[in-house]
Amino acid sequence: MSEEATDTAEAQGGSTTSGETPAADEFKPITSQQELNAALKERLDRERAKFKDYGDLKAKAAKLDEIEQANLSELEKANGRITTAEKERDDAKAESLRLRIAVTHGISLEDADLFLTGTTEETLTAQAKRLSDRTAEQANAEAERKKNHPIVSKEGTSTKTGTTTEEEDRAFARSFFTGGS
């Protein structure tokens, strides 16, 4: 039996296992276009009855999608604000930690901005310790150099101030080329 015939037989309360059913006795073949049109119209009306509230459901689904989209937009905005606030909080904590460690190790703010780049307290502490040790080493080396190699403050400079005049330059040239006389 075909699937459509099985559905028809079951709908009429007959058995689908035997060839002799009460529906088989009532079956009338369609012989005219009007009968075919009437059967199709009846079948179409039954199917339309199943989906008669489809338009309402479609409108409600569209309205629900619109509401969900609006809520999602609000949720995305809220998530964006939360993310921004968390980032600002984390940046403020990192800056506070960096400055605290810089002050603890006696590092200037300019050097802290330039050299303290870590993100954890351990990293920042290690960087600050290394920077302060290096600064101390350089200061000790400079003190040692000054102690061992003193600088004469006016070494290499002339005691005479001002510029020479043209007449003085001529006198110098004459004494140089004439042998001092």
pLDDT band at 1 (very low <50, low <70, confident <90, very high): very low
Mean pLDDT of the chain: 81
Q: What is the pLDDT of residues 51-100, one digit of tens each?
A: 888 888 899 999 999 888 888 888 888 898 999 999 999 999 989 999 99
144-180 per-position pLDDT tens digit: 888 877 676 666 666 666 566 888 888 888 888 887 5
d(CA 181, CA 177): 9
Which band of pLDDT confidence, cut at 50, 70 and 90, is reported for residue 49? confident
Whether the full predicted model's pTM is greater than 0.75, yes or no, is no
Q: How many C-alpha atoms does 41 have within 13 Å on its Cβ side?
A: 6
- Residue-wise pLDDT for 161-171, tens only, equals 656 688 888 88
Please report, for the chain, the start and end positions of each structural domain, with discontinuous segments joined by +: 56-148
- Distance between CA atoms of 165 and 62, rounded to whole angstroms? 99
What would the pLDDT profile of 19-40 be if each residue is shown by its tens digit?
566 665 688 888 999 999 999 9
Q: Which residues contact 124 (CB under 8 A, 6 or more apart)?
A: 97, 98, 101, 116, 118
Report whether 105 contacts 132 (CB < 8 A): yes
The torsion angles phi and psi of 31, rounded to 5 degrees, stand at -115, -15
The residue among 29, 31, 13 whose CA lies nearest residue 21 is: 13
